[in-house]
Structure 1
Amino acid sequence: MPQTDISTREPGGVLWLTGLSGAGKTTLAKALKQRLTDERCMAVVLDGDVLRTGLNAGLGFSSADRRENIRRTAEVASLFKAEGFVVICALISPAAAQRKLARAIVGERFFEVHVSSDLSVCEARDPKGLYAKARSGTLAEFTGVSSPYEVPTAPDLALDTRHSSIAESLDELDSFVRSHIRLARSQG
């Protein structure tokens, strides 16, 4: 992607963190938001699990429902971006076509971030016990077990949480943000 001077850009941008459950998307999203807001930068997290309790409640995990989940999230992200926020979206978004749709909706200043880790590492972390449920057959269409995950072929940033600590990955993500997104500071 061609580099431009970020000082000439509109403030705000969208970081679309994609990866398997347990890869560290939400952990990184929350940590980055905290770091930015500590500096009075306008930032918000749109977490897939949280969105499914409200805005995206009632959507399942069929292909059509996953697409609609991504579409709604991208529309909200676009609105926040237009107001100058750094929007950190943490969603599995397993299909390349879903991520392409999100990029098309958001437009400029959309950055796909692949948070990768081996399936075995994600399964060992399994903070919500979802892999165990999927392996036992009580959770259908679970990405990485009974539903595929299409690894991004050309993400704007790739973070390997298997080999890097959360602190190292956060520093890399933070550095990326500061070199690609003009930050807006809150006035209050």
Structure 2
Amino acid sequence: MTTRECECGATVWLTGLPSSGKTTIAHAVADRLRDQGRRVEVLDGDELRRTLSLGLGFSRADRHANVQRIGLVAEVLARNGVLVIVPVIAPYADSRTAVRERHEASRTAYLEVHVATPSGVCAQRDVKGLYARQAAGEITGLTGVDDPYEPPRQPDLSIPAHEQSVAESASILLDLLVERRLV
């Protein structure tokens, strides 16, 4: 596989619970594609919360606005030939659908990938300490605990990141990109 065969852009949206492995997988895939000469951007949800979506809270409306902002940036980059990997919780199906529809309207490839790590495993990983803070009563509204998470009903791919290594998860996603002729 050479990535020079396709210079088309696409958005690969990784959705899942906090600490499910979305960002780790996104960077593993991006690194492998960059090594092959592909233009890739990772739009990390945590980073964009501190910049693009600064000032938004965690209400349903604010979460929707955050996802739409990120979706717009992803679509513009993808429409211009960049492969964009977006590790963002995006807990609501209607928000993700709106992002997909934006891509469809511009005829830009969009894949939805569910990083399907169970909440118990995410809580054990607790990369950011969110689950511990929620359990201690320091925060509320943690997605998948005391705030809803609507898993995709028909994702393009479901990755059981808790059952395999990061390299295996990245390979599965790369295989899908090849199958869909996006790389």
Same fold flag (TM > 0.5): yes
1:144 is aligned to 144
Give the whole-Å Cα distance in 2 for the aligned partners of 1:27 and 1:116: 14
Q: By how many angstroms is 1:50 displaced?
A: 0.4
Give the whole-Å Cα distance in 1 for the aligned partners of 2:139 and 2:46: 15
Give the whole-Å Cα distance in 2 for the aligned partners of 1:148 and 1:38: 38
Deviates most, 101-110 or 147-156? 101-110
1:20-169 equivalences under 5 Å are 20-107=17-104, 108-169=108-169
Q: Which runs of 5+ in 1 are unaligned?
A: 1-7, 184-188
Give the whole-Å Cα distance in 1 for the aligned partners of 2:62 and 2:85: 21
Change beyond 3 A, Cα 1:162–1:156: same
**Preserved CA contact (<8 Å) 1:23 1:117:** yes
Give the whole-Å Cα distance in 2 for the aligned partners of 1:181 and 1:82: 16
Indicate the percent of aligned positions where both proteins have the same amino acid: 41
1:182 is aligned to 182
Code of the aligned partner of 2:146: S
Q: By how many angstroms is 1:159 displaced?
A: 0.3
Give the whole-Å Cα distance in 2 for the aligned partners of 1:174 and 1:79: 22
Give the whole-Å Cα distance in 1 for the aligned partners of 2:135 and 2:129: 10
**Preserved CA contact (<8 Å) 1:43 1:86:** yes
**Preserved CA contact (<8 Å) 2:8 2:81:** yes
Give the whole-Å Cα distance in 2 for the aligned partners of 1:154 and 1:43: 25
Equivalent residue pairs, number = 177
Cα distance per residue 1:61-113 (max 9 Å; x no partner): 10000000010000000111011111000000111111101111222411100
**Preserved CA contact (<8 Å) 1:30 1:45:** yes
Q: Which runs of 5+ in 2 are unaligned?
A: none
Q: What is the RMSD of the two structures over their aligned residues, measured on CA atoms?
A: 1.6
Give the whole-Å Cα distance in 2 for the aligned partners of 1:181 and 1:47: 24
Q: Secondary structure at the match of 1:61?
A: coil
TM-score (norm 2): 0.92
Give the whole-Å Cα distance in 1 for the aligned partners of 2:42 and 2:79: 15
Give the whole-Å Cα distance in 2 for the aligned partners of 1:83 and 1:94: 27
Q: Secondary structure at the match of 1:21?
A: coil
Cα distance per residue 1:105-162 (max 9 Å; x no partner): 2224111000011111000001110111112221121101110111111000000012
1:4 is aligned to none
1:3 is aligned to none
TM-score (norm 1): 0.90
Code of the aligned partner of 2:133: K
2:8 is aligned to 11
**Preserved CA contact (<8 Å) 1:59 1:65:** yes
Q: By how many angstroms is 1:182 displaced?
A: 3.0
**Preserved CA contact (<8 Å) 1:12 1:181:** no
